[in-house]
Amino acid sequence: MIIIFFAVIVISGCVQQAPEKDVEKTALLSFTEFFCYGTEWSEPHAFFQFAYQEDGQIKYVKTKTTCEDLIKINATNDESKSPTFGEQIKLRLEGEKPVQITRENGEVYDVKESEQIRSFFTSGINVYDNLKYFRNSNSDKIIAECSLLTENNQHDRCLSYQAAFLTNETLCDDMKIISNQESCKQWIRNIEEGKINN
């Protein structure tokens, strides 16, 4: 009986020990979600969310943070809430499950897998979208990641932001949906002609 009990402990211990590894990624998008007022319809919440490409799909993780955590590091001001494309991140995986993230600025957070929070990569292309409150870096790396996405609209939407930031119509031609190609080019023309409010 004692031997069986000991064997169960050893086996369950082995099951819980998933191998850990660190994987460097280019985040397609990172942003702050901050709502710290309790209402009848929603609970207070505050976290950073990250979208990245994995096996042709967009995956999402969010930090296990609270309103107090983000207030403490002054992550609630407008600048820090700006959606950012191209942040370099490092994910720690247990097996295939993301459990921790290291941000480009060195901050480390525990994370969990999450659903899409905002519709950046699923909505249509808005030809009057203003990029003033967005930040962008590492365009070459993002474009390479966008190109690996297998869902057509996500692929095109991902490329459209880079086309708009770089005012590069050639990227529009790489889109899979014809109507998205034209919307992308119109967005760039609107930017170049000053038709979008700054």
1: pLDDT strictly greater than 60: no
Mean pLDDT of all residues in 144-173: 97
**Exposed e or buried b for every residue in 9-36, given b needs 16+ CB within 10 A?**
eeeeeeeeeeeeeeeebbbbbbbbbbee
C-alpha angle 94-98-100 in degrees, rounded to nearest 5: 95
The pLDDT, as a whole number, for residue 3 is 52
Residue type, 26: T
State yes or no: pLDDT of 9 exceeds 50: no
Percent of the chain with pLDDT over 70: 89
Q: Please, is 42 exposed, middle or buried when counting C-beta atoms within 10 Å of its C-beta (0-12, 13-18, 19+)?
A: exposed
Q: Give, for 59, the enclosing helix (H) or strand (E).
A: strand 57-63
pLDDT score at 17: 65
- The residue extents of the domains of the chain are 17-113, 135-192
- What's the one-letter identity of residue 187? W
Please write the tens of the pLDDT for every residue from 65-111. 999 999 898 887 666 678 999 999 999 999 989 999 999 999 999 99
pTM: 0.85
Of 37-46, 117-126, 138-147, 160-169, the poorest mean pLDDT is in 37-46
- pLDDT band at 8, cuts 50/70/90? very low
- What was the pLDDT predicted at 16? 59
Looking at every residue in the chain, the average pLDDT score rounds to 89
Higher pLDDT, 40 or 107: 107
What distance in Å separates the CA atoms of residue 115 and residue 60, rounded to the nearest whole number? Answer: 6
Are 53 and 28 within 8 A, CB to CB?
Answer: yes
